[in-house]
């Protein structure tokens, strides 16, 4: 008998996905370059009583042959070159009509190139974003599929079965052609960066401005998790803050070095936003904040030069909670606008309601908020969350708190890169007459770039003095 599906790459994510597939009743052939990895995986499968559903094959050709045709082969290797190498190895072994399903955090444009490379060869290619970390992979991730519809239909039963369920609905959907799945996953991660950064900023206000210790902060996050901020990230924040280091007896979070890592998806989100001309200040701020965090030595030197901040700030925990919610509304508005704009450019026809729906469970940004968003997008043609009536009401209720938090942070010398940029975006966005009239004047002054006056037309010019010396006269 042949396996229903194949999976190459038994790292943590790959191994867990394979176990998840087996647990859902499908037979999965597995392969890895290292025999040791396969052995370890089989021990894990046995322990869970799933070894009967798994077919291990060290030889890649035998592995491919062991899968039912038309074959669906999941590859779960490191993004970048390893994906291309794996495609080259698989290519001579596959038959027309087979498909590769690549589930890493790939750059969407790489996925598009691979899609275009394989399509004429008769090999299908699905670029699939999988979110939820190791636990999600094992028990139900959120799955964002891009690529050809036909191949999707072939793999859909397995992918839908292994995905997380939100009130019975599978958090897996085909979103669009080519790189759509990986693009949406990238922006998911950009939004994840924003959420994490805004949470960290609020923690900073509690720790440095309100003098709260880690366990007091943990209690607040636990309480917030019962309210409108209810989400996976708020929940794990509570757990991270309450963990105690067994060696020193101190809160673990107080010992962890304050330098954030990043593997690229946040930067890709920010680049995509800029390229599309869609402001995504919350995501950009979150990426910048990680970069600042990594320059620890410079920060220490600057603290020496400017002096260490101290003292309490005057802000309530209720304001912090509402400020986070307001920041989240702005950040998600921006992230979804990037997706909507890219979809237009590419002709992907992405449905924002579907994306919000499959993010309600399984993924890192899963939250009560996303359920509200799914409802808002479903009932409203607008792609701009800040203009959906329910969210207008919510934002009206929350932005004064965001304002007080940002003001208190500024006066109290506490960095709020993400929250303050979210607020500035909101204030720019809701300003009917902004200040770009002056920019246009400046551009025309030095470079005759032209400006517009309503009722008089575009590409007008000012009667500026020819030189700066003349202007000074
Ligand atoms: C997910 C996560 C995951 C990502 C981590 C780390 O959705 O499960 O986004 O895919 O690898 O978030 O990303 P950074 O190292 O860039 O923080």
Mutate to test the pocket of ligand 1, among 78, 80, 133 (most ligand atoms within 8 A of CB): 133
Catalytic residue among 37, 53, 185, 322: 185
Tell me the ipTM for this assembly.
Answer: 0.97
State the distance from the centre of ligand 1 to the C-alpha of 99, rounded, in angstroms: 25
Q: CATH: 1.20.144, 1.10.287, 3.40.50, 1.20.5. Which one for 436-472?
A: 1.20.5
Nearest protein Cα to ligand 1, atom 7:
131
Catalytic residue among 57, 192, 201, 321: 192
pLDDT tens by residue, 433-447: 999 999 999 999 999
Distance CA 271, CA 108 (A): 12
For the CA of 261, the nearest atom of ligand 1 = 15
Mutate to test the pocket of ligand 1, among 265, 270, 363, 370 (most ligand atoms within 8 A of CB): 265
Query: What's the whole-number mean pLDDT along residues 208-219?
Result: 98
| Domain covering 186-429: architecture | Orthogonal Bundle (1.10)
Share of the chain above pLDDT 70, in %: 99
In DSSP terms, which residues pair with 124 in a beta bridge? 99
Classified as helix, coil or strand, 30 is: strand
Residue 252: is it exposed, middle or buried by C-beta count within 10 angstroms (0-12/13-18/19+)?
A: middle
Given a contact cutoff of 8 angstroms between Cβ atoms, the answer to whether 187 and 269 are in contact is: yes
Pick from 178, 166, 131: which is nearest to 354 by CA? 166
Instruction: Judge: domain 5-178, CATH 3.30.70.360.
Output: no
424 is in an annotated binding site: no
pLDDT at 115 exceeding the cut of 80: yes
- Beta-carbon count within 10 A of 461 CB: 11
Distance CA 105, CA 233 (A): 20
State the distance from the centre of ligand 1 to the C-alpha of 265, rounded, in angstroms: 8
For the CA of 141, the nearest atom of ligand 1 = 8
State the distance from the centre of ligand 1 to the C-alpha of 163, rounded, in angstroms: 17
Query: What's the whole-number mean pLDDT along residues 1-12?
Result: 97
Distance CA 99, CA 6 (A): 10
297 is in an annotated binding site: no
Peptide bond into 230 cis (omega under 30): no
Nearest protein Cα to ligand 1, atom 10:
131
Query: What's the whole-number mean pLDDT along residues 352-366?
Result: 97
CA torsion sign for 46, 52, 53, 58 is: positive
Share of the chain above pLDDT 90, in %: 95
pLDDT at 372 exceeding the cut of 90: yes
Classified as helix, coil or strand, 108 is: helix
| CA Rg value for the chain | 25
Which alpha helices (DSSP H) does 264-348 contain, by range?
A: 265-276, 281-294, 296-306, 317-346
pLDDT at 384: 86
Q: What is the dihedral of CA 136, 142, 143, 144, to 10 degrees?
A: -140
Pick from 357, 348, 346: which is nearest to 379 by CA? 357
Residue 161 token pair:
């079965």
Q: What string of DSSP letters covers 379-429? A: H-S-S-GGGSHHHHHHHHHHHHHHHHHHHHHHHTT---HHHHHHHHHHHHH
State the distance from the centre of ligand 1 to the C-alpha of 182, rounded, in angstroms: 13
pLDDT at 101: 98
pLDDT at 379: 75
pLDDT tens by residue, 312-351: 999 999 999 999 999 999 999 999 999 999 999 999 999 9
Given a contact cutoff of 8 angstroms between Cβ atoms, the answer to whether 14 and 37 are in contact is: no
| Confidence bin at 195 (pLDDT 50/70/90) | very high
What ranges do the domains of the chain cover? Answer: 5-178, 186-429, 436-472
Query: What's the whole-number mean pLDDT along residues 400-421?
Result: 98
Pick from 93, 183, 187, 121: which is nearest to 147 by CA? 183
The overall average pLDDT reported for the chain is 97
Classified as helix, coil or strand, 188 is: helix
pLDDT at 254 exceeding the cut of 80: yes
Distance CA 327, CA 200 (A): 13
- Name, in order, each residue with C-beta under 8 angstroms of 241's C-beta and a sequence gap of 6 or more: 203, 214, 215, 217, 218, 221, 251, 253
Distance CA 53, CA 42 (A): 11
pLDDT at 381: 64
Residue 458 token pair:
């575009």
pLDDT at 314: 96
For the CA of 364, the nearest atom of ligand 1 = 7
pLDDT at 468: 86
pLDDT tens by residue, 118-162: 999 999 999 999 999 999 999 999 999 999 888 999 999 999 999
In DSSP terms, which residues pair with 146 in a beta bridge? 127, 176
Instruction: Please determine whether the domains at 5-178 and 186-429 fall in the same fold group of CATH.
Output: no
31 is in an annotated binding site: no
- Name, in order, each residue with C-beta under 8 angstroms of 131's C-beta and a sequence gap of 6 or more: 141, 142, 144, 185, 188, 189, 359, 362, 363, 364, 365
Active site residue 185: yes
Pick from 134, 159, 100, 217: which is nearest to 358 by CA? 159
Query: What's the whole-number mean pLDDT along residues 389-417?
Result: 97
State the distance from the centre of ligand 1 to the C-alpha of 262, rounded, in angstroms: 8
| Confidence bin at 302 (pLDDT 50/70/90) | very high
Mutate to test the pocket of ligand 1, among 13, 78, 105 (most ligand atoms within 8 A of CB): 105
Residue 216 token pair:
């007091």
Using CB distances shorter than 6 Å, the residues near ligand 1 are: 105, 131-133, 189, 192, 261-263, 265-266, 363-364
Classified as helix, coil or strand, 293 is: helix
For the CA of 260, the nearest atom of ligand 1 = 17
Distance CA 391, CA 370 (A): 12
For the CA of 142, the nearest atom of ligand 1 = 7
Higher pLDDT, 386 or 471: 386
């Amino acid at each position: 008998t042949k396996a229903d599906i194949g999976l190459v790459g038994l790292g943590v994510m790959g191994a867990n996905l394979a176990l998840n597939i087996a647990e859902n009743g499908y037979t999965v052939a597995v392969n890895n370059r290292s025999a040791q990895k396969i052995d370890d995986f089989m021990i894990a499968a046995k322990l869970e009583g799933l070894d009967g559903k798994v077919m291990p094959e060290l030889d890649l050709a035998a592995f491919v042959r062991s899968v039912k045709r038309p074959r669906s082969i999941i590859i779960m290797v490191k993004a970048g070159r390893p994906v291309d190498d794996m495609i080259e190895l698989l290519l001579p072994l596959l038959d027309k009509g087979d498909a590769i399903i690549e589930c890493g955090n790939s750059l969407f444009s790489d996925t598009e190139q691979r899609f275009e490379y394989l399509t004429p060869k008769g090999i299908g290619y699905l670029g699939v974003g999988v979110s939820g970390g190791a636990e999600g992979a094992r028990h139900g991730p959120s799955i964002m599929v891009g690529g050809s519809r036909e191949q999707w239909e072939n793999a859909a039963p397995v992918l839908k079965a292994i995905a997380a369920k939100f009130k019975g609905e599978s958090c897996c959907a085909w979103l669009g052609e080519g790189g759509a799945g990986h693009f949406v996953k990238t922006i998911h991660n950009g939004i994840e960066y924003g959420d994490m950064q805004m949470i960290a900023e609020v923690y900073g206000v509690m720790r440095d401005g309100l003098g709260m210790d880690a366990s007091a902060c943990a209690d607040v996050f636990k309480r917030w998790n019962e309210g409108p901020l209810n989400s996976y990230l708020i929940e794990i924040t509570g757990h991270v803050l309450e963990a105690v280091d067994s060696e020193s007896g101190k809160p673990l979070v107080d010992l962890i070095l304050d330098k954030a890592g990043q593997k690229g998806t946040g930067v890709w989100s920010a680049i995509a936003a800029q390229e599309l001309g869609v402001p995504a200040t919350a995501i950009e701020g979150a990426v910048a904040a990680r970069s600042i965090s990594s320059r620890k030595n410079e920060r220490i030197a600057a603290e020496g030069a400017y002096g260490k901040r101290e003292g309490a700030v005057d802000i309530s925990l209720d304001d912090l909670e509402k400020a986070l919610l307001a920041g989240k509304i702005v950040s998600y508005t921006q992230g979804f606008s990037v997706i909507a704009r890219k979809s237009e450019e590419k002709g992907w026809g992405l449905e924002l309601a579907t994306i919000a729906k499959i993010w309600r469970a399984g993924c890192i940004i899963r939250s009560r908020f996303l359920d509200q968003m799914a409802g808002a997008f479903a009932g409203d043609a607008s792609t701009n969350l800040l203009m959906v009536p329910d969210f207008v009401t919510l934002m009206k209720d929350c932005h004064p708190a965001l304002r007080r938090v940002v003001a208190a942070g500024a006066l109290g010398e506490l960095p709020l890169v993400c929250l303050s940029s979210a607020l500035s975006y909101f204030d720019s966005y809701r300003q009917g007459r902004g200040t770009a009239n002056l920019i246009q004047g400046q551009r025309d002054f030095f470079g005759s770039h032209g400006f517009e006056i309503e009722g008089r037309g575009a590409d007008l010019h000012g009667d500026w003095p020819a030189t700066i010396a003349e202007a000074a006269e």
